[in-house]
């Protein structure tokens, strides 16, 4: 006979803990903007591209086929401001700038890489489902 387990309420969080954690479902929570940076098409592709190591701007542009220079610069700036990407500028002429993931960037990049891998693995099923829904 199975024992009945009493419902245990989760420990209440302090106001400081609530403010630090974030709430994606709250309209004004800054975590939504960060989620957008990480999960945007270009954010995902750049994070995954940088898993392999340090890259120059032009290398990233070639690697992430279809991204404009403007979107590449903007997305790298977002990811840098969020603490996921480090920009290294060398004081030489012509300018030499490289980008690499920070430790926090490595962590989030592995998570979005898993999502990207899942999509690629299930692509035939996804495409079949899309075909079924078309008129």
pLDDT tens digits, one per residue of 70-120: 999 999 999 999 999 999 999 999 889 999 999 999 999 999 999 999 999
pLDDT > 70 in the chain, percent: 84
What is the pLDDT, as a whole number, of residue 3? 45
Across 5-104, the runs of DSSP E, i.e. the strands, are 55-56, 85-90, 96-101
What is the pLDDT, as a whole number, of residue 81? 97
Residue 17 and residue 36: Cα distance in Å, rounded? 23
**How far apart, in Å, are the Cα atoms of 112 and each of 5, 44, 92, 104, 109?**
36, 6, 34, 13, 5
What is the pLDDT, as a whole number, of residue 2? 45
What is the pLDDT, as a whole number, of residue 100? 98
What is the pLDDT, as a whole number, of residue 27? 78
Contact between residue 69 and residue 61 where contact means Cβ atoms under 8 Å apart: yes
113 backbone dihedrals φ, ψ, rounded to 5°:
-65, -40
If you classify domain 31-126 with CATH, what class do you get?
mainly alpha
What is the pLDDT, as a whole number, of residue 17? 63
Mean pLDDT of the chain: 88
What is the pLDDT, as a whole number, of residue 1? 45
What is the pLDDT, as a whole number, of residue 30? 84
| Mean pLDDT on 21-37 | 81
């Amino acid at each position: 006979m199975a024992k009945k387990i009493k419902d245990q309420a989760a420990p209440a969080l302090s106001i400081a803990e609530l403010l630090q954690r974030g709430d994606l479902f709250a309209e004004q929570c800054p975590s939504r903007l960060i989620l957008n940076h990480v999960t945007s098409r270009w954010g995902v592709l750049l994070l995954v591209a940088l898993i392999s190591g340090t890259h120059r701007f032009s290398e990233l542009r070639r690697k992430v086929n279809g991204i404009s220079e403007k979107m590449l610069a903007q997305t790298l700036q977002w990811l840098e401001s969020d603490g996921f990407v480090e920009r290294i500028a060398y004081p030489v002429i012509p300018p030499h700038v490289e980008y690499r993931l920070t430790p926090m960037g490595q962590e989030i990049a592995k998570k979005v890489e898993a999502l990207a891998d899942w999509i690629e693995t299930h692509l035939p099923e996804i495409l079949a489902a899309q075909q079924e829904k078309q008129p």
